[in-house]
Structure 1
Amino acid sequence: MSIEQTKVSIVIPVYRAENTLERCLASVFAQTHSNLEVILIDDGSPDRSPEICDSYAQKDERIRVIHQSNTGVGAARNAGMSVMSGAYLFFLDADDYIVPETITVLVNRAEKTGADITIGNLRESGGRGLVRESPPYSRESILSEQQAIAQVRYELFYNPGYGVTAWNKLYRAGFLEEHGIAFENRRLLCEDRVFNTRCFIHRPRIELVNRYTYVYCIDASTITRSKIDNPVEKSLSAVEAMKDALDANQSADENEDLFTWFVFGQINQCARNFAIHSERPFKDIKAFLQQYRENDLVRRCLEEIGSGKHMEGISRTSWKRYARGLSRLLSRGAYTKASMILWLRFKVIEHR
């Protein structure tokens, strides 16, 4: 089979996307790679999104629409994965769009190298027309033997465009099938990182392509910019899901660093959300920290970072100081100081 004949399934969860969905779909139909299966999952959207999905399905036989009650993005992606028939899988959010060569570029690299996951580079487009590009990758491949290197592991999961998100990646369907990899059906924070960890523990061959293949659009209506409901519950559910993923593969010890930084990352995720959405961000951040730290796993991870453990893969001295200092404050229950640091940090970031 030629590369042009290789079938790619594009899974797009749709919820409250009536203002962006047509732009997203236009970018899909502009692809230079034509053998596509487009699966739209209407996740109980209350706006015009379901009608838009059905309208496009009538125009193009490559489109399949699934209508379901609102269950969250992870369950919606699972629904798409359960019916896909492509050799490769690509996730696209309905808020975003891809450039015309995206699928061609990623499939070409995957087919030439036998990659399990192929990752392009990323552009961020802001509501005021601002565009930010993620830095070029410093390597072309991440082989299985390199994945034990601390710096590679940290880059893979905490640098933009790598393992943080499920979108902007071409997954080999056979790899996901072989290892039974799927999303959590329950709602939790950082579900993409949990999914990618489930991939990572099976040591996939990863290819990195220094071409901008995905445009991530940031505006007030996007999922990532919406207020997080029940942040403590969702954060602890994510911690539990990550631990279960590592335990199931008997790899908790060798991936202790990834788990620890994942736990710490939930703090930054929620603090940033409060800084954007809350009417009383300082108080909400403090309340979250107090409840989150009550968990034994969280407490242990904070103590490890505070003591300087798991720092080998981090090159930025400023980040090491920040993470270690914040963890020390939380370990001794200094919630007021920790909350002030987080509030000021994300207040500055949001006003850049």
Structure 2
Amino acid sequence: MKQEAATISIIIPLYNAERTIERCLGSVTRQTYSNLEIILVDDGSTDRSPDICDRYAEKDTRIRVAHQPNAGVGAARNAGMSVMHGDYLFFLDADDYIFPETIATLYAEARSTESDITIGNARVSTGNDRFSEVPSFSYQSVTAEKQAIPQVRYELFYDPGYGVPVWNKLYRSGFLKRYAITFERLPTLSEDRLFNTQCFIRHPVIQLVNRYTYVYCTEASTIMRSKIQAPIEKSLRVVKSMQDSFESIQGLSEFEDLLAWLVFGLINQVARNFTIHHDHAFKEIRDFLVAYKQNETVSRCLRAMASGKYLEGIARPSWVRYARDLSRMLNRGAYTAAASLLFLRFKIEARRRRIE
């Protein structure tokens, strides 16, 4: 007896994405795997995005559209999850697109390996037909035992290419429902990291597919390129949420390294955003560092990073040096030097991207 094809739910949150949503939807409707439930969540757009979504829904019965007041990408994804019926779930940003075989490839791997999370390779589009590749993952499958290896933990919980984003992952719906995993209700930073950490600390079966299945477009991003408002409040909310999650599962000791990486990662996320969007970025970065360091959990994590703890076994020598040096500056209270390092790092990064 032939096995019935599973329904795959694709959730696409969007806000003022009129320039990219048709490219995104075109890539979805052309999938070779056709048993799809396509859920568009318009998060209070003020451009033509809502009309475009409604027009596509009239032409394709697989498409459902929800309109809501602006509440942030996490709330939009939660809205999609609350009405989905699929056996598997795939998140897609409205700025990005997927290849015709993406869903078929990920689903075939998920079914054959009985994985809870299946991850493909990604390409990064920086505009003008220029692409780069996300670095390959060290392992094809990740068991609970492998999740204790420092390099695997780094790639799953910190590396922006694989562990952090929710895009390019096929989640088994039953796994998410079993642990009631959703996005933070309040707008915050690192929504993707928090969501995936909730997944990974439950030791899911993870399978990697060595094929390109996603194109992440940095040149048109409407989700990631907005100014961060209330960065201290949001950063500390993330730290507390993560700490509470760890303590509710098995106690903090098993996950202290992940909390330290999160604390360090938020510094970089905020500094990068300030460098892009703020006229007085250096001062904003320094003020953030001074206030952020006053938090007891942040201070404890940075002391551990400065000592080299949680950095051993990670095969990224330049990142290890950078993380240790910046943490040492902050541990000594050298906020001006730390702000200078961050400001220059992200100024150079932004200039390099413009040249490319």
- When normalised by structure 1's length, the TM-score is 0.97
Distance 1:206 1:221 in 2: 28
Deviation at 1:137, TM superposition (A): 2.9
| Alignment gaps of 5+ in structure 1 | none
Stretches (4+) displaced over 3 A: 1-4
Contact 2:95 2:220 in 1 (8 A): no
Structure 1 residue 218: deviation in Å?
1.0
Q: CA RMSD in A?
A: 1.4
Match of 1:202 in 2: 202
SS in 2 for 1:151: helix
The total of aligned residue pairs comes to: 352
**1:198-347 to 2 correspondences below 5 Å:** 198-219=198-219, 221-347=221-347
Alignment of 1:1-352 (within 5 A): 5-219=5-219, 221-352=221-352
Pick closer, same or farther for the CA change 1:186–1:2 going to 2, 3 Å.
farther
Q: In the alignment, is the contact (CA less than 8 A) between 1:263 and 1:301 conserved in 2?
A: yes
Amino acid aligned to 2:215: V
Q: Residue 73 of structure 2 contacts residue 223 of structure 2 at CA under 8 Å; is this kept in 1?
A: no
- Is residue 120–residue 214 contact of structure 1 (8 Å, CA) maintained in 2? yes
| Counterpart secondary structure, 2:224 | helix
Contact 1:232 1:291 in 2 (8 A): yes
2:15–2:45 CA contact under 8 A, matched in 1 = yes
- SS class of match (1:213): strand
Q: Percent identity?
A: 61
Aligned residue identity for 2:351 = H
In 1, Cα distance between the equivalents of 2:274 and 2:331?
21
The letter for the 2-side match of 1:23 is: R
C-alpha distance in 1 between matches for 2:251 and 2:167: 25
| AA at the equivalent of 1:131 | F
Amino acid paired to 1:192: D
Q: Residue 122 of structure 2 aligns to a residue in which SS?
A: strand
- In structure 2, the CA distance between the partners of 1:4 and 1:93, relative to structure 1 (3 Å rule), is farther
Q: For 1:93-112, what per-residue CA distance to the aligned partner results, in whole angstroms no more than 9, with x for missing partners?
A: 00100010000000000000
Matched residues in 2 for 1:317 and 1:138: separation? 16
Q: Which moved more, 1:56-65 or 1:240-249?
A: 240-249
Instruction: Tell me how far 1:160 sits from its aligned partner.
Output: 3.9
Q: Over residues 232-278 of structure 1, what are the superposed CA-to-partner deviations in whole Å (9 max), with x where a residue is unaligned?
A: 11111111121122122134210111111001000001111111111
Letter in 2 for 1:63: I
> How far 1:2 moved relative to its partner?
5.4
Contact 1:219 1:225 in 2 (8 A): no
CA distance in 1 between counterparts of 2:235 and 2:4 reads: 42
TM-superposed CA distance for 1:159, in Å, is 2.6
